[in-house]
Structures are given as C-alpha cells and as structure tokens.
Amino acid sequence: MAERLAVIMPAWNAADYIESSVRSVLEQTHRELRLIVVDDGSTDRTPEILARLAAEDERLTVMRVPNGGPAMARNRALDALGDTADYVMFLDADDLLDPDAADYALSAARKGAEFVIFGFRIVRPDGSAREYCEKEELLDRASLGGSLARLYKANLLNQVWGKLFAAPLLKEIRFPDYRWGEDRLFLFDVLGSVRSLAVLPACRHSYRMHPGESLIKSWYDRKFAVAVEIDRRMEALCREFSVPDDADFRYMFAKSVFSCLTTLYSSNCRLSAAEKRAAIREMLREPRLRERMSGASGGLPVRVLSAVVLSERPGWIAFVFRLVAWAGERFPKLFTKIKHRK
C-alpha cells in the first residue's frame, strides 16, 4: 500500500502564483497524497482560485481561517490531520516541487528515516538560481550530532520546506506563534525527538523570488528576541547530542544578529531614526551578545561586522548596517553569496 502523504501549504494573498504551486503538488508522481491549503484570511482572488482547483481534484482540501500568520495556519492543518497521513511535507504558496520530489523523499523514508532533508534552489526573477544541498547520508541519534553544525551552516535547518516528516514525529510538535524563526524552532524540536535522519543531495524544491523582492526585506519587531531563543535552543541541542557548541554555531547566531540589524534599515521598516537607535541599544543589553559573537567562524566579513557590533557604539552600528542594507538591495546576488556562505 502506498504511503499516505499530506502536504500543508499556508496561503495569504497568493493569487499571482498559488495555482502553479498547487499544481506542482497535485502533479507529483506519488499519487497517494492530500494537499491541505490553509487560506490565512486572503483578501485577493486566492479563495476563488482555490475553490476552482479543489473542484478539479478531490485531493485538495481548503481551510479558511482568520489571518494569523503561516505558523498558526500550519498548526491548524496539523491539528486537522488526525491519523490520515503517514508522512507530512510543507510548501509555501509561491514555491514549487519538482514532479518527483515526494517520491525522492519517500525513497529515504522507506529505508527507515523518520525525517528527510533534501536540497533546494533559490530562483531569482531573472531565472538564475543558487542551489543548497549536502552529501547523501543516513544518520541515527549517535551520529547526528557530528553533522549538526554542517547542516545548520548549509542553510538546511532554517526552513520547514524541503523536508519530509514521519507523521507520528509531529504528534506533539507545533510552530511557535512568530513571524520569523518559527521554522527553525519547529525543526529543533523535531531534532530533539528524531531517531533517524536522511540527507538527500538533489534539489527538488524551488523557492521563487519575485520582482522587487529582497532577502533583507523582513523586518519584524520580535526578530532579535527570537534569534536569542533560537541560539539558546541550539545550545540545548548541542548538549543533547554531546557535541561542542563551537564557532560554527556562534556563526549562525552572528548571522541572525546581522540580519536583525540590516532589516532595521530595509525599506519595509517604518521606525524612525530614533526608534532604530533605541532598538540597537536594546539589542546591546543582551548579555549573551558579546559571549556568543566573539568566537564566531565565517571569515573576514563576520569578524569585521562582529567587531562593529561589539564596539557597542549605536551610531557606528547604525551607519555600518545602513550601508549593508543599501548594498543588499542594490547588489542582491553578491549579498546572497556572502549571506549564505558556509
């Protein structure tokens, strides 16, 4: 009997691209699947498009909820699953799965993996792409710790998509109610429980960037607090797996701090200059900032930006990260290359 797969997709005002995303799921070579789209209070044509698609394919279920963000939308779908699925995948409403993505991930699950990670690509509006993947391996709890830092630095533990989960693994795990970082915290909870994890090398998921979209346009007022929570949770995972909390983990925290500071100067942050300085001063009060950033890996760019932050001079920090934001918006390919270096 074929494995029952549930794919969960939150959607908010996704009318421009949701049809192709939905079809990329329904046209999978693995046919025993159910797609649950949670319409998160859309005010555009998303509901009409979903109604039409659901009428064409009974495997598509649409849930409509008041707007609460993707984390809460995913939780609603997980709560509704019951025992109707053997495996679960997640997909955003503007992303695409390769036609054999589900079968590719299930091939590792059939060998005993409860949690499967496969590669993904970021596709820019001009059609160029950057791929993120790691070598093939099957890890148990005894060996997972040794690969934890490498997978984290490879950007494979930041997003909930590009992965397959055994449904029983998610019985007690839900997304925290955040608008940033909720994926990582969810995955860290999974890692705390998983007994076997497979990494597959091929990219089978496409993250589509849209014209005008930038990787730094994600200012969120709770972002730094969540970054600190993520770092604490990773410290706990290092203890659970008996691995050193080394410079690579500190590098990932440093990158989160840089992201928090950069997005203060992105075009979608509406804080005044005084409010931005106040936000920087509040970040500098975090006791773990100096301890965690002092020993980060990542080469010269990380050392330079860490020195700027650790100078504890709000005006200087504001000047430098305003420049970083400017460069990120004008030279996105270079910014992506530096931001996502391993």
What is the per-residue pLDDT across 115-169, written as a single tens digit (0 to 9) for each?
999 999 999 888 999 999 999 999 999 999 999 999 999 999 999 999 999 999 9
Q: Is 278 helix (H, G, I), strand (E, B) or coil?
A: helix
Q: Which fold has domain 5-208?
A: Spore Coat Polysaccharide Biosynthesis Protein SpsA; Chain A (3.90.550)
Pairing between strand 5-11 and 33-40?
A: parallel
Instruction: Report helix, strand or coil for 119.
Output: strand
Task: Give the residue from 278, 276, 233 showing the smallest Cα distance to 253.
Answer: 233
- pLDDT value, residue 342: 53
CA distance to 27, 160, 164, 209, per residue, from 196 (Å): 29, 17, 12, 32
Judged on CB neighbours under 10 Å (0-12, 13-18, 19+), 18 is buried
Please determine, for residue 339, whether its predicted confidence score (pLDDT) is greater than 70. no
Over residues 305-319, the mean pLDDT reads: 96
Check residue 264 and give its pLDDT.
Answer: 95
- Share of residues in the chain with pLDDT > 90 (%): 84
Domain spans in the chain, listed from the N-terminal domain onward: 5-208, 223-339
In angstroms, the CA 255 to CA 133 distance is 19
CA-CA distance, 97 to 73, in Å (whole number)?
A: 20
Q: What is the longest distance spanned by two Cα atoms in the chain?
A: 63
Task: Report the pLDDT averaged over residues 41-62.
Answer: 98
Rounded Cα distance, 310 and 317, in Å: 9
233-283 pLDDT, tens per residue? 999 999 999 999 889 999 999 999 999 999 999 888 999 999 999 999 999
* Mean pLDDT, range 8-28, rounded to an integer: 98
Q: Give φ, ψ of 35 to 5 degrees.
A: -105, 120
Question: 199 by DSSP, 3-state: which?
Answer: strand
Confidence of residue 329 (pLDDT cuts 50, 70, 90): confident
Alpha-carbon distance values, 257 to 49, 229, 322 (Å): 39, 12, 14
Residue 268 has a CB neighbour count (10 Å cut-off) of 11
| Angstrom distance (rounded) from CA 342 to CA 321 | 21
pLDDT-derived band at 333, boundaries 50, 70, 90:
low
Q: Please state the pTM of the whole predicted model.
A: 0.94
Weakest-pLDDT range from 55-69, 74-88, 210-224, 245-259:
210-224
d(C-alpha 250, C-alpha 291), whole Å: 9
Residue 327 pLDDT exceeds 90? no
Strand 96-97 relative to strand 196-208, pairing: antiparallel
Map tokens 């440093």 to a residue: 254
